């Protein structure tokens, strides 16, 4: 069965060239996938805009209307970090709808897995507010849509962006049907994601936050996956895995101070694909979040496609970090105790 990708030119029309999250990011990804011969191996899933019903499972009508008004007025800012261009509302609708399209394609058996190459990104957007470069929360909209089909009872969301996905956690904090897992540099924007945040009410225990100090590197991330993620995802037993894929944890990214290499990222992607094969018939979808060093971003996405295609190929033209890695054994022990893994 094919591996799919979601793309539409509208995603390039959400653009502010002076901003770190600009259209050049996606152009560079597409150029690299083309030059490496990957696009020809994939099935294009043409997106459509998210419906009002799909968006309103996650966002308030007032927030949706605000984004529309700002775009129709010629653009502006929702906050100091988050811009709206004249076509941003259409792009954001089609980004959220693109991931819903991919989810439905996987559930229908049209493709085995895939990557939504969408923008603007989404994991910081809350019910009432766009923030952190994000307008609508694409992965949350898709998770809610998958549950609404009745074909899915439990969704596991893995977020390896260097920033905590506060909007995604907020959307499902009290929902036992969604498990949210995040590795993120801490304390760092947006300041959320402490390890004591584990879900509330009926969702207690359905959040795993791994707030990492700077310079952790490949070994630390591998320890997180081996000691924490594998036992918790097996305990949760999802029907679908969604991945907020941010490549700003790389040691060359200009916006953070982590120590991951492309080889380290590829290992995380391969592990997530293995989890999906082991637990939910391979049903896994990645969606684009952060990553601001263009070659790292593009090769990170390329390696995710190798993983979904079942290949061991890893493209890493940049190499490993020259900085020493920081151990996190104490944090791992705290989290194992918090989540009853001892």
Give the catalytic positions in this structure: 124
Q: How far apart are CA 92 and CA 81, in angstroms?
A: 16
CA pseudo-torsion sign 9, 147, 135, 209:
negative
What b/e string do you get for 8-41 counting C-beta neighbours within 10 Å, with b at 16 or more? bebbbbbbeeeebbbbebbebbbebbeebebbee
Give the Cα-Cα-Cα angle 181, 255, 58 (nearest 5 degrees). 40
Q: Which residues contact 238 (CB under 8 A, 6 or more apart)?
A: 154, 155, 156, 179, 279, 280
In degrees and rounded to multiples of 5, residue 269 shows phi and psi of: -65, -45
Q: How far apart are CA 76 and CA 205, in angstroms?
A: 39
Q: How far apart are CA 170 and CA 176, in angstroms?
A: 13
Q: How far is CA 199 from CA 4, 45, 203, 235, 334, in A?
A: 32, 34, 5, 16, 16
Find, among 257, 338, 342, 251, the residue nearest to 300 by Cα.
251
């Amino acid at each position: 069965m094919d591996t799919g990708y979601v793309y539409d030119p509208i995603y390039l029309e959400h653009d502010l060239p002076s901003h770190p999250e600009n259209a050049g990011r996606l152009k560079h990804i597409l150029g690299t996938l083309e030059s490496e011969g990957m696009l020809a191996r994939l099935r294009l899933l043409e997106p459509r805009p998210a419906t009002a019903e799909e968006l309103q499972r996650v966002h308030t009508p007032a927030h949706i209307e605000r984004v529309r008004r700002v775009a129709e007025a010629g653009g502006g800012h929702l906050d100091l970090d988050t811009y709206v261009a004249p076509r941003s509302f259409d792009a954001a609708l089609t980004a959220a709808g693109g991931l819903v399209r991919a989810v439905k394609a996987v559930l229908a058996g049209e493709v085995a897995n895939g990557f939504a190459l969408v923008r603007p990104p989404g994991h910081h957007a809350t019910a009432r507010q766009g923030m952190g470069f994000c307008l609508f929360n694409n992965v949350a909209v898709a998770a809610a849509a998958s549950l609404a089909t009745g074909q899915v009872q439990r969704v596991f969301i893995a977020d390896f962006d260097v920033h905590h996905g506060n909007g995604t956690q907020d959307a499902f904090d009290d929902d036992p049907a969604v498990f949210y897992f995040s590795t993120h540099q801490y304390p760092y924007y947006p300041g959320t994601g402490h390890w004591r945040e584990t879900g509330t009410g009926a969702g207690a225990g359905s959040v795993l936050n791994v707030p990492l100090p700077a310079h952790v590197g490949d070994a630390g991330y591998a320890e997180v996956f081996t000691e924490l993620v594998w036992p918790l995802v097996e305990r949760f037993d999802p029907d679908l895995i969604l991945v907020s894929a941010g490549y700003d944890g790389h040691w060359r990214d200009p916006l953070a101070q982590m120590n991951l290499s492309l080889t380290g990222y590829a290992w995380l992607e391969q592990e997530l694909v293995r989890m999906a094969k082991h637990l939910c018939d391979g049903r896994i979808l990645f969606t684009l979040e952060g990553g601001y060093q263009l070659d790292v971003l593009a090769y990170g996405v390329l390696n995710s496609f190798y993983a979904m295609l079942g290949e061991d190929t890893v493209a890493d033209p940049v190499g490993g970090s020259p900085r020493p890695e920081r151990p996190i054994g104490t944090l791992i022990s705290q989290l194992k105790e918090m989540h009853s893994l001892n």
